[in-house]
Chains A and B, each alone.
Chain A
Amino acid sequence: MTLLALDQLTVMRGGSAAVASASLAVGPGEVVGLIGPNGAGKTTLLRAALGLLPVAAGRSSLAALPAAARARAVAFLPQGRTIAWPVTVADLVALGRLPHGGGPGRLAAGDRAAVGRALAATGLAGLAGRIATELSGGEQARALMARALAQEAPLLLADEPVAGLDPAAQLAALATFGGLARAGRAVVVTLHDLGLAARACTRLVMMQAGRIVADGTAAEVLTDARLAAVFGIRAFRATTAAGPIVQPLEVV
């Protein structure tokens, strides 16, 4: 069973391909780290996979779904952290229940349980009554992640969810993704922290200039040659008792 299937997906922007013939299949139990330098097409790939962008060629299994069915098949956590109105954290997270007929002020028992689980997973249970727009940037990011978790879709696409979070919150977020995968769901997450990606993802997909250039385990994808060719860096790599370590050292 696949939760996401991209077949030769191509997105044109300004005459050149922002995503070029990208094929990818994601199944239950996977945490797929989507890595690549700025402008590699990671965000464009996620948006096109969701059907948010017109596609020049190829297809995405999610974009083919009707909007209501798609909202129950996949949750999306965009990179831009938008909270337009001064709503409470509890109401913000409850918005994640809209695809299931719930929402702020009309939560059935199942919806309430899902909101509770999302708040607990992000460590926000104590802040549920606070106004979200008055929280710190990191707390807002966690509240928005809780919204996506409350959607309880089989697949979560998260665009740079840990940017700007403190180390504990970053580790907690990735641990949450691991928990989702063990429960039979799947996560595709874009990350800039290669060390975190190597440790927390079951699989890495590397992009460069719109193309998927490598797809496999961290050891297979993060080779010295690719780090130099794709990221332009040299990194210290080691396999330790505490797991793989990847630490960028210098620009090459």
Chain B
Amino acid sequence: MSYPAILLALALAVAALFAASLMVGPAGLPASASLRALFGAEGRALVLVMQEIRLPRALLAAAVGAALGLAGAAMQGLLRNPLAEPGLLGVSAAAALGAVVALQTGLAAAFALALPVAALAGAGLAAGLMLAVAGPRGGTLALILAGIALSALAGAATALVLNLSPNPFAAAEIVFWTMGSLRDRAMSHLWLALPFLALGAAMLLTARRGLDALTLGEEAAATMGTGLVRLRILVVGGTAALVGAATAVAGAIGFVGLVVPHLVRPLCGGLPSRSLPAAALGGAAMLLAADLATRLLAPERDLKLGVVTALIGAPFFLHLILRTARAEA
């Protein structure tokens, strides 16, 4: 298949899964009535279900999935390593810490968007630190090590909050939040995340020619006119904006950013500039599918999205690795 055909096929898959996401839910509405309600032409209750519950959920699944896929492809391109993933920067761990602090202190109950705002604040602090490391005096290795240190620090702080939590209900809530979910999200969550998602996507798409040049190594890329510091700042800043916003509204969702770039890369001829848009579409499709799975597999239970992506993603990833290993042997 040609590259435009692949993008079209992925876009069609996203559209189909998006439609399915709107049609499936505990309310058990007929498809035609759901569609009419989406555009406000049905009874009040139905309109409420479609516009206030299912539409934001489907939109968030698509946006968060696209953000994670895009960020994963960009990080792998920057580090020239297929094992890189957006969580490597420590931004998602810091966002989770912000959310956990909001839950523990009761701030989350103070106003509707307190939790995602606190998570964004945590992500912003981490992003500032990582941007300093990515600057003129930093390097790729320093970036990876700083990300690992930051993740460990944020993880330990989160564990400390749980450890010392006097309130078992808050502790349970924290544990469930960190598993990632798109349940009970409103359009306001989308509006909160959207500016950061748009900024991050714009930064990463600006970086794609530079990421292509990096295929030849840092020195060759630099002599072809690629500003390495500018490229690092674009990719680290863009990834931080995407992952921070995604984690703030959806919690920690693993594996999408790692697996999706692997899936689309061979289809697009390997180059980062082509993998980036395909990974965004692939990530949207994967997260829409995983969110559908949480509703179809256990409609009565609140199956967490991050659990499902890891449960499906990890065995699939192992299968891919084994197949690649066999092909190379």
Contacts and interface: CB of A to CB of B under 8 A. Distances in A.
A binds B: yes
Interface of A: 47, 50, 52, 67-68, 70-71, 74-78, 80, 82-88, 91-92, 95-96, 98-99, 103-105, 131, 144, 147, 151
Contacts of B271: 85, 87, 91, 104-105
6 contacts: A47-B219, A52-B222, A80-B219, A82-B215, A84-B214, A103-B209
Interface in B194-251: 209, 212-217, 219-220, 222-227
A88 B220 CA distance: 18
Contacts of A75: 223
Given A67-B222, A99-B225, A105-B274, A83 B216 contact: yes
Contacts of A95: 212-213, 215-216, 224
B209 A98 contact: yes
A82 B215 CA distance: 7
Contact of A78 (B3, B220, B225, B273): B220
Nearest to B230: A67
Nearest to A83: B215
Contact of B223 (A52, A82, A91, A104): A52
A82 B220 CA distance: 9
A141 to B, nearest CB: 13
B325 to A, nearest CB: 15
A127 to B, nearest CB: 15
Nearest to A79: B219
Contacts of A70: 223, 225
A78 B219 contact: yes
A103 B220 contact: no
A146 B271 CA distance: 18
Interface of B: 3, 80, 209, 212-217, 219-220, 222-227, 265-266, 269-274
Nearest to B215: A84
A103 B217 contact: no
A86 B270 contact: yes
B216 A144 contact: yes
Contacts of B222: 50, 52, 67
A96 to B, nearest CB: 8
B225 A87 contact: no
A52 B217 CA distance: 13
A76 B269 contact: no
Given A82-B220, A83-B216, A67 B227 contact: yes
A252 B123 CA distance: 64
A222 to B, nearest CB: 30
B90 to A, nearest CB: 24
B286 to A, nearest CB: 21
A78 B217 contact: yes
A87 B3 CA distance: 13
Nearest to A151: B224
Given A76-B220, A78-B220, A84-B215, A71 B225 contact: yes
A95 B219 CA distance: 14
Given A87-B271, A91-B271, A147 B216 contact: yes
A76 B219 contact: yes
* Most chain A CB atoms below 10 A, which of B217, B224, B270, B271: B224
Contacts of A67: 222, 225-227
B213 A91 contact: no
A50 B224 contact: no
A82 B217 contact: yes
A98 B219 contact: no
B223 A71 contact: yes
Contact of A85 (B215, B219, B227): B215
Given A85-B272, A91-B270, A76 B212 contact: no
B216 A99 contact: no
A95 B226 CA distance: 12
Contacts of B273: 103-105
* Most chain A CB atoms below 10 A, which of B216, B219, B226: B216
B269 A80 contact: no
Contacts of A105: 3, 271, 273-274
A76 B224 CA distance: 8
Nearest to A85: B270
Contacts of A151: 224
Nearest to A159: B219
Contacts of A88: 269-270
A220 B273 CA distance: 50
A133 B271 CA distance: 13
B217 A76 contact: no
Nearest to A101: B209
B223 A76 contact: yes
Contacts of B217: 78, 80, 82, 84
B3 to A, nearest CB: 7
Contacts of B266: 86
Contacts of B274: 104-105
Contacts of A52: 219, 222-223
B149 to A, nearest CB: 25
Contacts of B213: 95, 98
Contacts of B80: 82, 84-85
B329 to A, nearest CB: 14
Nearest to A144: B216
